[in-house]
Amino acid sequence: MRVLFTLDTKDYDINGKTFERPSVRGIIIRDKKVGMVHSLKYDYYKFPGGGIEPNENKIDALLREVKEESGMSVIPNSIKEYGMVHRIQKGYEEDVFIQDNYYYLCNAEEVIGPQFLDGYEKEERFTLEFVDPKPAIMVNRNHHHGPKDQTMIEREARVLDILIQEKYF
């Protein structure tokens, strides 16, 4: 999978304890809008997806995570690799947090089911929205997001920028 970009905050002790958490993200485009999860509490947009569990492959994680966060059921034979973002920064508990984020273009069933949110996702009031990418980028870059990690929020804005440059909208 191609590397879209690397986000390296250089704020960590490279010799310290490392935590790695790979993740998957679904890019679902309908009518020139992209399906994103909107955190109503902290006002940012993210692609539906999340961490890959131990002994889980990327595609199974994508199907599970998109369903949990958005209620959308990805159509397995529509999945195409898009790109990967490598993120490295100081962790909350560990000295170094490393995350490879694997993005996939995919389609989803028209009917949207219920979300299956975990505690923090419920607290943030994750809501699926199909949005024009430019306003989502502006929200991510210009609004205050409270204690949320700006590196993660900027990652999503940069992926949206690339999708626009590559004429997906």
Domains and CATH numbers, the chain: 3-165 (3.90.79.10)
The residues, ordered by sequence, that sit 6+ positions from 156 with a Cβ below 8 Å of its Cβ are: 36, 44, 45, 46, 47, 136, 140
Q: pLDDT tens across 82-140, in order?
A: 999 999 999 988 999 999 999 999 999 999 999 999 999 999 999 999 999 999 999 99
Residue 93 confidence (pLDDT): 87
50, pLDDT greater than 90: yes
Whole-angstrom distance, CA of residue 52 vs CA of residue 63: 11
pLDDT class for 143, splitting at 50, 70, 90? very high
Q: Which of 140, 143, 134, 135 is nearest to 165 (CA)?
A: 134
74, pLDDT greater than 90: yes
Share of the chain above pLDDT 90, in %: 98
Whole-angstrom distance, CA of residue 169 vs CA of residue 167: 5
Residue 27 confidence (pLDDT): 98
Residue 100 confidence (pLDDT): 98
75, pLDDT greater than 90: yes
Mean pLDDT of the chain: 97
Q: Please report, to the nearest 10 degrees, the dihedral formed by the alpha carbons of residues 37, 39, 43, 46 taken in order.
A: -30
